Amino acid sequence: MTKKFKYCPNCKNKLKIIGKKLLDCPFCGFHFYLNPVPTVALILENENGEILFGKRKLLPKKGFFDLPGGFIEFNEKAEEAVIREVKEELGIKIKKSKFFGTYIGFYSYKGINYQPLCVVFFGKIKNEEIKKIKPADDIASICFFEKEKIPWQKLAFPDIKSALKEYLELKNNQHSKKASQ
């Protein structure tokens, strides 16, 4: 990522790259640290146990499937961001979600490779709520996939794949425990 940034935004002189994550201006002392970008995502299951996916309307990964979510804004908690993103993308307000885990991803946009740190939540949606969904923002359409029929090759981002695989493994283990009792 550091190769895209050549000049200081403060004094316009040439930047010095220190390691993989620090840009330094030897002229004015400007420092810029390249850190992960915080994002959120929601694994949302309907009453049949199918998972909701949005089809991406925009680059990057236009036409690929993604979970509802997006970037956390300044002065926003992850719990607030997931509610806001779901409202922006699906037009509904989620009432309850639970923290699931954090996942490291890869997001390439306009020649810059970002590293998202995705905070993943999970929740349920009732059938009457599904009728209220109106895809918007960067979502072209939505669909639900049975857990066994998730199109892994058409998922947009690696952090989403990792989260889903871990989520499904956990659900499978819980189901196996209940069955053996």
| Percentage of the chain modeled with pLDDT above 90 | 83
44 — pLDDT class (breaks 50, 70, 90): very high
Q: What is the pLDDT of residues 110-150, one digit of tens each?
A: 888 889 999 999 999 999 999 999 999 999 999 999 999 99
| Confidence at 10, pLDDT banded by 50, 70, 90 | very high
The overall average pLDDT reported for the chain is 94
Q: Give tens-digit pLDDT for 148-171.
A: 999 999 999 999 999 999 999 999
pLDDT band at 1 (very low <50, low <70, confident <90, very high): low
User: In the chain, pLDDT over 70 holds for what percent of residues?
Assistant: 97
Q: Could you write out the three-class secondary structure of the chain?
A: CHHHCCECCCCCCECEEECCCEEECCCCCCEEECCCEEEEEEEEECCCCCEEEEEECCCCCCCCEECCEEECCCCCCHHHHHHHHHHHHHCCCCCCCEEEEEEECCEEECCEEECEEEEEEEEECCHHHHCCCCCCCCEEEEEEECHHHCCHHHECCHHHHHHHHHHHHHHHHHHHHHHHC
pLDDT digits (tens, 9 = 90+) for 76-95: 999 999 999 999 999 999 98
pLDDT at 3: 76
